[in-house]
Amino acid sequence: MTRNVRSYGHFCVTARALESVGDRWSLLVIRDLLTGAKRFTDLMDRLAGITPKTLSQRLDELADTGIVVADRAPGRREVWYHLTPAGADLGPVIDDLNWWGLRHAWRWPQAGEPLHAEHLLRCAIQAIDLAAGSREPARWHFRIGGADYLAESDGHQWTLTAGAPPDAADVTITATTQSLIALIFAGSDAGIDITGAPGPVRRFREEIGTLATVVGPAQARSGSVWP
Amino acid sequence: MTRNVRSYGHFCVTARALESVGDRWSLLVIRDLLTGAKRFTDLMDRLAGITPKTLSQRLDELADTGIVVADRAPGRREVWYHLTPAGADLGPVIDDLNWWGLRHAWRWPQAGEPLHAEHLLRCAIQAIDLAAGSREPARWHFRIGGADYLAESDGHQWTLTAGAPPDAADVTITATTQSLIALIFAGSDAGIDITGAPGPVRRFREEIGTLATVVGPAQARSGSVWP
DNA sequence: CTGGATCCATGATGATACTG
DNA sequence: CAGTATCATCATGGATCCAG
């Protein structure tokens, strides 16, 4: 296998960190594993445009560096990739990049641009976090096209994890990716089911559209919402 | 010119951020500009191994993205590159990478490995920050081989800036890069001049060696301190 | 079907030399 | 000082194929 061994050769921990995660796609792989373990094809779905060769190579490199572990159980077909504690420590880096991108590299969804519900949720949650509205804890359970996500705020910080929550959430949202887009960007709840106590549901409806308003109106019309 | 226009084409602000700063060397250029404006050759010195072509290309790309500005004064030979506010907003990303690298990608200086005083100071300050010793404000003025740096703590966070401080610092340290290495990694103050009031100087002496102790002793002997 | 590997094309990066 | 020019190499992408 061709292994990317290109290093900077500097005494600088920033450079050394980038030797581990600075290759193309690496941080996006880590981003997708931050919400929970994934299979090879789960990652292929989210990383639209990556080739299996590159994904395979990145996973091997990240495993060598101790950031990712491949869980291969005997007698089980699937391989589940998950982050080590060192890998999970990269969460703040991803969050900062996400935060910077939201403020300085935002663009409305373009026609035909791949848009995965998981990334949209991450972005929407970050916008809510950035806008710093309510600081009350919250637990929102999303069911998007059969996949479950839990967006959770402890009052200080939001986190997004894949999988159904073990115990009941405040609000449960059932939607498709398309109807979720319409809800976030246009406030339309057509084809969406939102359940929960009135208070939490009201707060959810107030805050879920934050992403569409936190970006300036000057940028708002430079792109299309509909792929 | 060959311009790197490779994009991910995803609706994801993390991916969009990485389209701006995810190329090889980009974040290291930003790291070096975070301490203040630099000339082309200043950057070449710090980014050992980069070719002038690549540096030129990165600076052009970062200027296109609104992260860097080239200051060309008429009648002046030098071009000074500095960060825009959007570029300065990448500080937390660099700090997090530095922090991750310190904990998970640390290695003692290797023989012949390029080591710039500015990067060593950044790393040493980060280690002090990580160890979370004293939370008192401090201002340390380093004079390393003719270049001035100010390491400053407001009690919560340390910052490193290039250039002499406008007003007096608590401690002034005059050294060469080699003697600074010896001070940080071996506690030796041979060839170093440390001036200031007894209290701040004592604190400086206590904390400057933090980098050498914060990394585990198991790793401590896997490399050489002396290039 | 998942989880890749292989082959080839292309574009980004590196090495070296040179210039306004 | 601040780059450019040329050539070589390597990483990535596209397409296809294969094993369990």
Q: Give the pLDDT confidence of A46-96 residue by residue, as tens digits.
A: 999 999 999 999 999 999 999 999 998 777 778 999 999 999 999 999 999
Summarised one tens digit per residue, pLDDT across range A123-134 is: 999 999 988 777
CB contact under 8 A, A9 and B106: no
Q: How far apart are CA B1 and CA B57, in angstroms?
A: 8
pLDDT at B22 over 80: yes
Q: How confident is the model at residue B6, as a pLDDT? A: 80
CB contact under 8 A, B48 and A18: no
DSSP bridge pairs for B143: B148, B174
Span CA (A58) to C1' (D7), Å: 30
Q: How confident is the model at residue A59, as a pLDDT? A: 94
What Å distances lie between residue B217 and A218, B20, B106, B220, CA to CA? 55, 38, 12, 5
Summarised one tens digit per residue, pLDDT across range A146-174 is: 899 999 999 999 999 999 999 989 999 99
Question: What number of H helices and E strands is found in chain A?
Answer: 11, 8
Q: How far apart are CA A31 and CA A25, in angstroms?
A: 10
Protein-proximal positions, strand C, CB < 7 A: 1-7, 11-17
Q: Which two tokens stand for residue B84?
A: 């825009």
Instruction: Give strand ranges (E) for B51-105.
Output: 68-72, 79-83
- CB B75 under 7 Å to nucleic chain C: no
What Å distances lie between residue A10 and A92, B114, B227, CA to CA? 24, 5, 11
CB atoms within 10 A of CB B52: 11
Q: Which nucleotide is nearest to B76 (CA to C1')?
A: D1
Please tell me whether the overall predicted TM-score, pTM, comes out greater than 0.85 for this model: yes
| Rounded average pLDDT over A17-41 | 95
pLDDT at A145 over 70: yes
CB contact under 8 A, A11 and B119: yes
Summarised one tens digit per residue, pLDDT across range B65-76 is: 999 999 998 888
Question: What number of H helices and E strands is found in chain B?
Answer: 11, 8
pLDDT band for position B133 (cuts 50, 70, 90)? confident
Q: Which two tokens stand for residue A165?
A: 């929550």
Which residues of chain A make contact with B89, given a CB cutoff of 8 A? 100, 103-104
Of B22, B94, B99, the CB nearest to A24: B22
